[in-house]
Structure 1
Amino acid sequence: MTSVPELQFKSINYTGLGNGPRLIVTGAVHGNETCGTKGILRVMAELDSGALLIRSGSVTFVPIVNPLAYQKQQRSGDRNLNRNLFPNPDPQDFEDRIANWLCPLLGQHDVLLDLHSFNAASEPFVMVGPQNNEGSLQPFGHAAKERALARRLGVRRFVDGWLATYGEGVQRRSRGDAAALETNLRYGVGTTEFMRSTGGYALTLECGQHADPAAPDVAYRAILNALAHLELIDAPRPEPIALDDMDALSMVVVYDKLEAGDRFTRTWSSFDPVAEGEQIGVRADGTPVLAAFAGRILFPDVNAQPNHEWYYLARPNGNFV
């Protein structure tokens, strides 16, 4: 277990005099994704100066969720915090210690806005949860509220279907091994999935490329829009992005890397369009890997290990709301 006694966890709460929802805003879940931290600190400066005032409900800011990764200026401290996020009575790494502090804190709130950035150049996007359901994987009852907030964060691209698609891949890889299935399904749970499991709702906002100077502004605007939409501050409620302007996608299927020799035939980036039958890669034995349908490729991983997810395919979602 990592020994880092000089590090500590920090959250800051602002509570209004009126009743309202409890929002929590998090940054630097991954230590090299600092746009959320910068956006949070900018909003906090306005609250501290009196330029902004929380009138109803409350907002809690966690500018740096993972201080070890932040200190190292890298994605993780000991492991990816945004996977297998559960309290652990016997913490094995620093991220387990974070989870033991963060998970109860999330459970004290109604809404989570988790701010991230990504590696390849692309436009910001929001990851949203499932439609309302009573299933065993991710039962949920706040889809309308969650998607209403997503449409007011100031971005036009939306992606849903993460946990269900990930879970289908896990079931395939587990080959009937119940213990492996449970373990690997847990690995798909991050901040937003845990928040939904507590009865709240949650959004992951990917604000832009890590080094994009505009990404902190995307984070800042999203926080202000969330505060206004939830009526925590005295400001006009932001208008939702028009349906015709939305780029909404649903993740449909995950494809695995089967052998070390499997490779892509070009450098793919998330959201690149693919045509039905277009070649995406080639298996180690020379078999071409073709797109089963027209859509977009998501999260292609050139460093994937055998029997792990290699890339996802998504379809346009005309029923986002």
Structure 2
Amino acid sequence: MSSRPDTPALPAFLRIHQYAGLKPGPRLLVTAAVHGNEVCGVAAIQRVMAELDSGALQLRGGTLSFIPIVNPLAHQLGRREGDRNLNRNLRPPVVPQDFEDRIAGPLCRWLADHEVLLDLHSFQGQGKPFAMLGPRNNRGELEPFAHEQAEGLLAACVGTERIVEGWLSTYALGLQRRAERAGDGSRRATLQQDPHYGVGTTEYMRSRGGYGITLECGQHADPEAPEFAYKAILRVLVLLGMVDAEVVAPRPASAPELLQLYEVVDREHEGDRFERAWASFDPVIKGQRIGTRHDGTPVLAPADGRIVFPAVNAQPGSEWFYLARASTRQLG
């Protein structure tokens, strides 16, 4: 693959750091910059590694691995993606087609070699940190899973006020509708119609027998986001018994709000527009106009709930926004 005019050379490796405790314990992988412009986790990982290296933080046991910059091309360019979204359609490629395919090979091997994943992200709009966890225990075809309790405890420990479930099952509904529309023949359109497209780091981790959460640590430029990510890493290490409990304050005592995604709506045309500047978790009521299609058709909320991940600049054919409602799930 040839180099691009906006970068001197393609990154040739992933930098991976590993600390092997002298006593048995869990195998934890902490990742950041899966999207290259989401850098709070990079700073948090570097801070934890500095404390481990200096002896200020002692690993009691287990194996702790860090990949501070999962997508070095996107990070180098200062944007979300290199050639495409690495956190979609994640699997070892048969024949690599782009830079993210080349990352996927070693990344999937490292995911499969660990039991627990903490994947650190940030988001574009304003808002507070939140965690995303996977399905409840099931033997279904979409995302069979057997670690509901452990993953729920993981999500509850990091200190967010809000936890969201239901990503892959909701995305599958969107895929069904997307498959009925003709794409433009581009690789992006082909990937977006692939049934595997909703699979990212945590989904792949679960497919290999592990569990993990996506932690959205705040807005991209929020100066508090690196501190939140840092404390989250320590809280996970405490939860897993890998460091002493005294290294970080416990999470707030109040229970987090738990929401379930249930619908995804694609942007179909560049003329599709939102009714107003939505932020994630803004409330909506049944029948409220969320946006308008390019031909004037209103896009209405089907029920009371919250709007999640509104993407005002979404590409036509990709996710425009999600809808969520209160969940009845118990986190253990």
Quick check: 1:152–1:241 contact (8 Å CA) kept in 2?
Answer: no
1:30 aligns with 2:35: yes
Distance in structure 1 (CA, Å) of the matches to 2:317 and 2:67: 35
The residue aligned with 2:326 is 316
Aligned to 2:131: 126
Match in the other structure for 2:224? 214
Gaps of 5+ in 1: none
Q: Cα distance, 1:181 vs. partner?
A: 9.9
Describe the superposition over 1:236-272 as per-residue Cα deviations: whole angstroms up to 9, x where unpaired: 5975654x53111100111233444332111111111
CA contact (8 A) 1:113 1:204 kept: yes
CA distance in 2, matches of 1:199, 1:94: 26
Q: In 2, Cα distance between the equivalents of 1:37 and 1:307?
A: 31
Corresponding residue number in structure 2 for 1:304: 314
Aligned residue pair count: 318
* 1:203 pairs with 2:203: no
Matches within 5 A, 1:156-235: 156-175=161-180, 184-235=194-245
Match of 2:272 among 262, 281, 289: 262
- 1:1-321 equivalence runs, <5 A: 1-3=1-3, 4=9, 7-175=12-180, 184-235=194-245, 242=253, 245-321=255-331
C-alpha contact 1:2 1:78 (8 A) present in aligned 2:
no
SS at match of 2:24: strand
From the superposition, tell whether residues 290 and 74 of structure 1 become closer, same or farther in structure 2 (CA, over 3 Å). Answer: same
**In 2, Cα distance between equivalents of 1:125 and 1:15:** 30
Aligned residues: CA RMSD: 2.1
Q: Percent identity?
A: 56
Q: Please say if residues 7 and 68 of structure 1, whose CA atoms lie closer than 8 Å, have aligned partners that are also in contact.
A: no
Q: Deviations over 1:155-175 (max 9, x none)?
A: 111011011001011112223
Q: Is the 8 A contact 2:178 2:193 kept in 1?
A: no
Query: For the residues of structure 2 that align with 1:254 and 1:307, how far apart are their CA atoms?
Result: 12
255-264 vs 117-126, which deviates more? 255-264
Q: 1:114-166 CA deviation, whole Å, 9 max, x = no partner?
A: 00111111000001001011111111110110010110111111011011001
Local SS of the residue matching 1:185: coil
Moved more, 233-242 or 29-38: 233-242
Judged with a 3 Å threshold, the aligned counterparts in structure 2 of structure 1 residues 182 and 309 are, in CA distance, closer, same or farther, namely: closer
In structure 2, C-alpha distance between the alignment counterparts of 1:121 and 1:6, rounded to whole Å: 31
For residues 16-46 of structure 1, what are the alpha-carbon distances to aligned partners after superposition, in whole Å with 9 as ceiling and x for unaligned?
1211110000011111111001000000001
How far off is 1:94 after superposition?
Answer: 1.1
1:115 & 1:165 partners in 2: Cα distance?
Answer: 22
- Within 2, Cα distance between the matches of 1:172 and 1:90? 28
Distance 1:215 1:252, change over 3 A: same
Structure 2 residue matching 1:146: 3-state secondary structure? helix
Corresponding letter in the other structure for 2:63 = S
Report the TM-score when normalising by structure 2.
0.90
Q: Secondary structure at the match of 1:245?
A: coil
| Residue 187 of structure 1, CA deviation | 1.2
* CA distance in 2 between partners of 1:80 and 1:141 (Å): 28
Compared CA separation, residues 2 and 53, structure 1 to 2 (3 A): farther
Q: Which amino acid aligns with 1:71?
A: Q
Q: State how far apart, in whole Å, the 2-side matches of 1:296 and 1:66 are.
A: 31
| SS of residue in 1 equivalent to 2:70 | coil
Which deviates more, 113-122 or 2-11? Answer: 2-11
SS in 1 for 2:45: helix
Q: Give the TM-score of the pair, scaled to structure 1.
A: 0.93
